[in-house]
Amino acid sequence: MSLAVYNTMSGKKEKFVPLEEGKVKLYLCGPTVYDYLHIGNFRGPITFNLMRNWMEFTGYKVEMAYNYTDVDDKILKRANDEGVAPGVISEKYIAEFEKDFAALKLRPHDHNPKVTEHIPEIIESVQKLIENGKAYEVDGEVFFSVKSYENYGQLSKKKLDELDEGHRVEVDQRKRDAHDFVLWKPAKEGEGLSWESPWGRGRPGWHIECSAMIQAIFKGTIDIHGGGIDLIFPHHENEIAQGEGCTGCKYCNYWIHNNFINMNDEKMSKSLGNIMTARSFIENYDGEILKYMFLSAHYRTVFSVSDDRVLQVIAALNRIYNALELAQETVKMVDGDGQVDSGFKKKLEGFDSKIKKALNDDFNTAEFISLIFEAVRSFNALGFGNKKKRNAVHKGCSEMFIEWMNKYGEMSALFNEAPSQMLNKLDEVSIKLKGIDKEKVEELVQKRGEARDNKDWEAADKIRDELAALGVELSDGSSRGWRVVLND
């Protein structure tokens, strides 16, 4: 099955056919860098990281760009509030974003263009639009003429005469049409972020930046443009209009948009006070949990982040990392060469085919994750109970399983942590979320050890039951000797 993607432009899945055989040009809208990014901002980077990796896994050579918007009113406001230059703010939060990106162990992009580094290209694009009769200048401000582009609204399925219905539109009298948007705006006194242009000193509008950077990097039509669904209108709609108005060529062949995430079934918003930054999530939980959570749902679905959801993810990761720990332990334990079990090998090959089908079907990561789980179940079903009875077949299957998991782990940026360390991390998060009294548990574990030393089996069993009532089970695999009971 060849790759099929859901194209927002057509509203349906389409067979993916690149502009140039074997090569893909991919642009993903990046962040406005004035603060720490919230977890929803990372759904795109995590999802498109897998998309890019899967396309390369199946033979494409992908060139990917992810931009930084470092010219914006929010940056200027923060700079003014803090009494520093705008560049200080943008560079600070680019660095903070890159810390979070590195903590998530995502692959770097080929290009991370900044608006401030492409001002000449932006000015050139605006000039071209004026020459092509698509834009006009009034008092040092340049507007794009929406009515000059007859296909405006094709991506968002909006019509100009319907945009005003139910809404009060504040009309700038200098515009030829209320829907015309800014390409270049005059500098305000004291802003500290402006450049000389044919229309006076000023700075670019938001939408023109991506069109100009795409042309600077890719020179013409691109294969895939991605972003969150909140960018469809007006940002991506305006990108298409000005991009095609400038070059006369098709802007992009496939538009891929990821959906929102909620916090506790409510939309994240400052007014509700429920915004969680990626930094906070990584520090309080773990980056592995965030990546698994996002990829266990299809990128076009809305899902909610909550403590219960985090515990479900921990339970799932626990199963996977326990299997990896068992496999590594078996490889070290059994001497000699491993023997390949044909039945297990055939099962993994079957999962390979199913994963290929799932990810070629509009990057169905939810199905991909469920197939990883099936492979874990098949591995555990091989029977590793008695350590002394593990043999060359157990070793061979363990080696095969580790290699198989590494293959998909590299592609998804998951399952690459040291199993014992990851299991302990997951346990710490579970302890915090479940409100387990660690001191009390440690005291009971010590008393049970003493009871066993004294051969007081009845007391030892009673303490074990007390621990179970607290949501704890004894485990030799944990550095503490116990782990939180998780239900998945």
Give 268's DSSP letter. -
Closest CA to 231 of 213, 252, 256: 256
pLDDT tens for the chain, 488 residues long, are 699 999 999 999 999 999 999 999 999 999 999 999 999 999 999 999 999 999 999 999 999 999 999 999 999 999 999 999 999 999 999 999 999 999 999 999 999 999 999 999 999 999 999 999 999 999 999 999 999 999 999 999 998 877 765 445 556 778 999 999 999 999 988 788 999 999 999 999 999 999 999 999 999 999 999 999 999 999 999 999 999 999 999 999 999 999 999 998 888 877 778 899 999 999 999 999 999 999 999 999 998 999 999 999 999 999 999 999 999 999 999 999 999 899 999 999 999 999 999 999 999 999 999 999 999 999 999 988 788 889 999 999 999 999 999 999 999 999 999 999 999 999 999 999 999 988 998 899 899 988 989 999 988 889 999 888 888 888 766 667 788 887 65
Q: Is 352 exposed, middle or buried (0-12, 13-18, 19+ CB in 10 A)?
A: middle
- Amino acid at position 77, single letter: K
Closest CA to 384 of 337, 327, 343: 327
DSSP SS3 for 277: strand
Are the C-beta atoms of 106 and 64 separated by less than 8 Å?
no
Strand runs labelled E in 323-430: none
Instruction: Name the maximum alpha-carbon separation found in the chain.
Output: 92
Q: Partners of 359 in the beta sheet?
A: none
Neighbours of 416 (CB within 10 A): 14
Residue-by-residue DSSP string for 288-351: HHHHHHHHTS-TTS-EEE-HHHHHHHHHHHHHHHHHHHHHHHHHHHS-S-----HHHHHHHHHH
pTM: 0.94
Are the C-beta atoms of 64 and 111 separated by less than 8 Å?
yes
DSSP SS3 for 15: strand
Which residue in this structure is represented by tokens 């829907």? 179
Tokens at 373, concatenated: 């789980």
